Structure 1
Amino acid sequence: MRNEIMRCFAVVFTVIMIVSGCSGREETKTAGGGGEEDTKPTYEFRLAETHAPDYPTTLADKHFAELVHERSDGRIKIDVFPSAALGEEAAAIEQVQLGAIDFVRTSAGPLAEFNKDYAVFSLPYLFDSDEHVWNFLLSEHGDQLLDSLESSKMLGLAYYSSGARSFYSSKPLAGLEDLQGQKIRIQQNAVNIDLMDALGASATPMAFGEVYSGLQTGVIDAAENNYPSYYSTGHYEVAPYFLLDGHQRIPEVLVISMTAWEKLSEEDQELIRTAAKDSIAFQREKWAEYEQLAEEEIRDAGVTVTEVADVSAWQKAVQPVLEKHGADYQDLLDAVEALRP
């Protein structure tokens, strides 16, 4: 009988802790003018991150959280959960949309399933360079895309760097012809599926955390990503052929749930938005450092790295993708073209 009572107490205590720990809000009092006291709320939010604790985006998440904590005098605390502790990107986005998670750092790729305009970033060979990407992201067009997530009960706060995506495989991979018939893991959206079809490969949507075992067991032959992701996940151990074609430059996006956003005063909203923008330079610096380290490490590990000197054959192969999907994003494509360095 005593054990049953203790078990019941433990269950009740756990429920209370969960309820009080989810996006908690308390009223704190600060001295106001003339001896009056102004009541300001405190918050504890959760931020979902799929990458490891030392990855550039995770470090930027933490830097953003520190800025918010400092500038709010400790009233607003954001706990960062790395390594997909709160779920892989697609699942975390859904939870942010529902208000169950407050923030997520995600690739723009999966966001296309929630807002079709984000699929523009998946169009192949859209940007020429990192400079070109940032010319667009920091423009009014980039800001409009962040705001457009509001229709999906989310709000974009800032973009982070993610470099250029290229192909890597467990099979020899030295040119376009080697992709034929390979099962390639993709971030699921319509553009990516059509892109793989155009290249003669088989698109295989899969959660990022499952890619290593997928490559190891042969469920997939290949994947595509940037240097840091390829290195940090150990994918180079099971897919030692890396083909640098730079077919996509898909940014990362820091997103807040509208449920959390609408709890905040205008002052706190501006504080959080500004902190997110101010974290960009930190992330870009950490990204550049880690990208260089990752390239050096995988080359030292004996990975066969092949650089595509001329992408014209690749651009020709994917032309049907641009013709099929480009019309949906003509205004954005015009902006991208106008911002070419």
Structure 2
Amino acid sequence: MKKLILSTVLTAVTCSMLLVGCGNGQETGATADRDGVESIKIIAAHNQTSPDNPYQDGLMKFKEVAESKSDGAIEVEVHAGTLGTEESELVEKLKLGAADVVLVSPGFMTATGIKEVDLFALPYLFESYEHWENVVDGEVGEEIAHLVNEKSNNDFKIIGYWSAGVRHYYGKKPLESIEDLKGMTIRTQTSGVVADYWQQVGAIPTSVAWGELYQALQQNVVDSAENAYPYYIQQNHHKTPNGKFTTETAHDYTTRLLLVSGKKFDSMTDTQKEVLLAAAEASMEAERQALYAQEEEYKELALTDGAEINEIDRTPFIEIAKPIHEKAAQDMGVEELLKKINELK
């Protein structure tokens, strides 16, 4: 298990918010008496319906730490898919105040007008988990967090970077070469840099709701999809005719953003903020540990269930991705961030 380094994002957010609190004449979280934490309820949600899921592990750790450190004054209610199985629903609920902490992918943040976050969605941006951690837990992650807070007008604050695993192709046939993708429909994002990539390798990006994907694969609505082992194996996609074959393309070491409502956060006392950020850090570590362990576990389960898994030469895939990286970074105005990411390899 790789060492999970302390997130500078959380440190920066903690410091800045406690300083703001001091400016308002409030007692800082560092010196406040936790016995005096004011009661507050936090609604935390993710879009996965399975309880045996790293997202659930992470948010349950968030609940445990927040309630423990506040002696029960902070109550956390965790929703696993019950507030919405689509991330767009969760983002909307966060904006409306119907949820306080949610987990979303970069793609759904770009839909709110913060295009820079799509940098983390670029295929083949990261070459290992170690590389990914160095990026999101360091200066780049801190800069993205600042951009999100600023450009959302304080609607969103990133309080942690989670992973949804390494994404691979799975479909009705194995990929022996990049040419095998030509003309195949693939369930993935249908706009932005992700869609652009799949189009350039010859596939046809197709929109299917996550909750409807099992049926779509079963009934030949789509030829294939792409995701990480814990997620599509839990949904039994590998047991469908169009999900039986997995090719380890490893095209995305995924990033997920743990967001808190900026307005909710700013309404908290400094002690409440301190507890929430401590819970966020603990949840980040718990989610990553669960995810890393489950990747191997669910790969073995897939093989046991009769799925077929093969490897492929990724070089042609990576070569197509490189110019997409450069153009996307230029369009987003984040060329320096891309350079920093590449320097951390």
Measured against the shorter chain, the TM-score band is 0.7 to 0.9
8 Å CA contact 1:167, 1:224 repeated in 2: yes
Q: With CA pairs under 8 Å and 6+ residues apart, which has the higher RCO, 1 or 2?
A: 2
Aligned residue type for 1:331: E
C-alpha distance in 2, partners of 1:299/1:39? 53
1:227 paired residue number? 229
Over 3 Å counting, the alpha-carbon distance change for 1:189 and 1:61 in structure 2 is farther
8 Å CA contact 1:158, 1:255 repeated in 2: yes
Pair 1:304 & 2:308 matched: yes
2:319 paired residue number? 316
Higher relative strand content: 1
C-alpha distance in 2, partners of 1:109/1:295? 26
Pair 1:50 & 2:52 matched: no
8 Å CA contact 1:48, 1:87 repeated in 2: no
Over 3 Å counting, the alpha-carbon distance change for 1:49 and 1:186 in structure 2 is same
TM-score by structure 1 length? 0.83
8 Å CA contact 1:227, 1:295 repeated in 2: yes
C-alpha distance in 2, partners of 1:209/1:268? 35
C-alpha distance in 1, partners of 2:220/2:323? 29
SS of corresponding position for 2:103 = strand
Pair 1:339 & 2:332 matched: no
Over 3 Å counting, the alpha-carbon distance change for 1:319 and 1:142 in structure 2 is closer
Superimposed CA distance per residue, residues 174-222 of structure 1 (whole angstroms, 9 cap, x where no aligned partner): 3311111111111354111101111111111332222112212222111
8 Å CA contact 1:185, 1:204 repeated in 2: yes
Bigger radius of gyration among the two: 1
C-alpha distance in 2, partners of 1:84/1:199? 36
1:140 paired residue number? 139
Superimposed CA distance per residue, residues 60-83 of structure 1 (whole angstroms, 9 cap, x where no aligned partner): 111111101111111111111113
My pick for the range that moved more, 230-239 or 108-117, is 108-117
C-alpha distance in 2, partners of 1:189/1:81? 28
SS of corresponding position for 1:47 = strand
C-alpha distance in 1, partners of 2:208/2:327? 24
Pair 1:197 & 2:194 matched: no
- Aligned runs of 1:127-206 on 2, under 5 Å? 127-150=126-149, 151-152=151-152, 153-206=155-208
SS of corresponding position for 1:318 = helix
Instruction: State the identity as a percent.
Output: 30
My pick for the range that moved more, 258-267 or 196-205, is 258-267
C-alpha distance in 2, partners of 1:72/1:202? 50
2:264 paired residue number? 260
Over 3 Å counting, the alpha-carbon distance change for 1:306 and 1:84 in structure 2 is farther
Question: Which structure 1 segments of 5+ residues have no match?
Answer: 1-37
C-alpha distance in 1, partners of 2:123/2:299? 23
Over 3 Å counting, the alpha-carbon distance change for 1:39 and 1:61 in structure 2 is closer
SS of corresponding position for 1:253 = strand
Pair 1:242 & 2:246 matched: yes
SS of corresponding position for 1:147 = helix
C-alpha distance in 2, partners of 1:62/1:315? 37
SS of corresponding position for 1:262 = helix
Aligned residue type for 1:314: F
Question: Which structure 2 segments of 5+ residues have no match?
Answer: 1-34
8 Å CA contact 2:85, 2:210 repeated in 1: no
My pick for the range that moved more, 232-241 or 265-274, is 265-274
- Aligned runs of 1:62-101 on 2, under 5 Å? 62-101=60-99
Following superposition, the deviation at residue 294 of structure 1 comes to 0.2
- Residues matched between the structures, number: 302
8 Å CA contact 2:132, 2:253 repeated in 1: yes
TM-score by structure 2 length? 0.82
C-alpha distance in 2, partners of 1:66/1:286? 16
Aligned residue type for 1:186: T
C-alpha distance in 2, partners of 1:145/1:316? 26
1:32 paired residue number? none
C-alpha distance in 2, partners of 1:253/1:62? 16
C-alpha distance in 2, partners of 1:212/1:316? 32
Following superposition, the deviation at residue 161 of structure 1 comes to 2.4
Aligned residue type for 1:47: A
Superimposed CA distance per residue, residues 256-289 of structure 1 (whole angstroms, 9 cap, x where no aligned partner): 1123212211221122112211222222221122
1:284 paired residue number? 288
2:4 paired residue number? none
Superimposed CA distance per residue, residues 284-327 of structure 1 (whole angstroms, 9 cap, x where no aligned partner): 2211221111010001112111112x322112233442343132
1:18 paired residue number? none
8 Å CA contact 1:135, 1:339 repeated in 2: yes
C-alpha distance in 2, partners of 1:336/1:124? 13
SS of corresponding position for 2:39 = strand
SS of corresponding position for 2:58 = helix
